[in-house]
Amino acid sequence: MSSDDLHHGGIDFHQAAPAAEALDRPRMSNDFGFRVTTTRFDEDYTPSTTSRVTTNFANLARGEGRQQNLRRALTMIRRRFNDLADWDNPSGDRYGLELDIVSVELGFTAGEVDREFPLLEVLDVTIVDGWTGARRHGIVGNNFSSYVRDYDFSVRLPAAGRGPAGPVVPEDFGDLHGKLFQAFLDSAAYAERFPQPPVICISVSTSKTYRRTDNRHPVLGVEYQQDDHSLTDEYFAKMGLRVRYFMPRGAVAPLALYFRGDLLHDYTDLQLIGTISTMEAFQKIYRPEIYNANAAAASVYRPSLEEQDFSRTLIDYDRDERSRLAVTQGRYTEEHFMNPHRDVLEQWAADFPEVVR
């Protein structure tokens, strides 16, 4: 546990049952619990031994230039936040952001023995007002990393083969992952730490076409829509999350935002800006062909990683390494989680009530 974990206070395993109790459903026969810890993401950040090495922010924190990488990324985030939060901010430096990596472990009983497995990691945002000293909680979620998702996309999906229309997607693809995620959101562990549902912000799909609409939000910007959902959209839907696509002022491509509830009304402008500034900066680093392109998305837009007219950031990021490690971690999940505990997982998933949100 890091010093920041001690600052925020570790949380012991809490049962996932409050999800059922809140909806007046019977308790599941095989309850899982969750433990939440946090690590500050700043220029001194070093990935822990238990953190997923494919996590995007962990990728930035390796090598000789790790501290410079982190400092530049955090500067990009802070400047973009102040650019979007420009009211009562004449010098463009009123606000600062503090980012925490939220790590979630799953606790369960298998064969009369308690087991733990790293489930997922997200980012939590705190907005600091340099004028007043006020600290406001932003939105949790933002970046999303998951061992089970690595297994689904890097091991299970390739094993299913390909058909004439592309990859063969198993009918229950993402079911277990989606139920584990929803159980965490409905758990006491989540409720004690986070007052609002998460928002996850990632890149748009390179396999889909997006069309600009007339809808415009004062912070999120202009909305785009697509004709049909991508496999990623469907995967997040099983996590209980809907998706909308917005291109903020000054951006060159829309972002995909996955959420529960009402994205446009459940969060303040500053909270939304916190997510936009954080994830837009990361996407400029991860996918500069799309998010650091030299021309903005047209009214009909098909994103492409083959685009040549873009600018690279001065931040090192190894996209090929991340893809290789995703396969490695997917196989680790298969060996240490899916295969040895398949009976427990399948029984728990079968008992988990279907919820229409």
Express each pLDDT in 72-128 by its tens digit: 999 999 999 999 999 999 999 999 999 999 999 999 876 666 688 999 999 999 999
Is pLDDT at 353 greater than 90 in this prediction? no
Does residue 340 or residue 27 have the better pLDDT?
Answer: 340
Query: How many of the other CB atoms lie within 10 Å of CB of 296?
Result: 11
Distances from the Cα of 20 to the Cα of 23, 179, 195, 248, angstroms: 5, 12, 18, 37
At 162-203, the pLDDT tens digits run 877 777 899 899 999 999 999 999 999 999 999 999 999 999
- Mean of the pLDDT values across residues 209-230? 96
- pLDDT reading at 237 higher than 90: yes
Give phi and psi for 156, each to the nearest 5: -70, -45
What's the whole-number average pLDDT of the chain? 85
| Phi and psi based region of residue 103 (left: phi greater than 0; alpha: psi -120 to 50; beta: remaining) | beta
Spatial contact of 107 and 36, defined as CB atoms under 8 Å apart:
no
Q: pTM value?
A: 0.87
Instruction: Specify whether the CB–CB gap between 204 and 303 falls below 8 A.
Output: yes
**Integer Cα distance of 235 and 37 in angstroms:** 25
- Which of 28-37, 101-110, 208-217, 317-326 comes out lowest in average pLDDT? 317-326
Mean pLDDT of 242-262: 97
Distance of CA 267 to the CA centre of its chain: 17
What is the model's pLDDT at position 352?
87
Using a pLDDT cut of 90, give the percent of the chain over it. Answer: 68
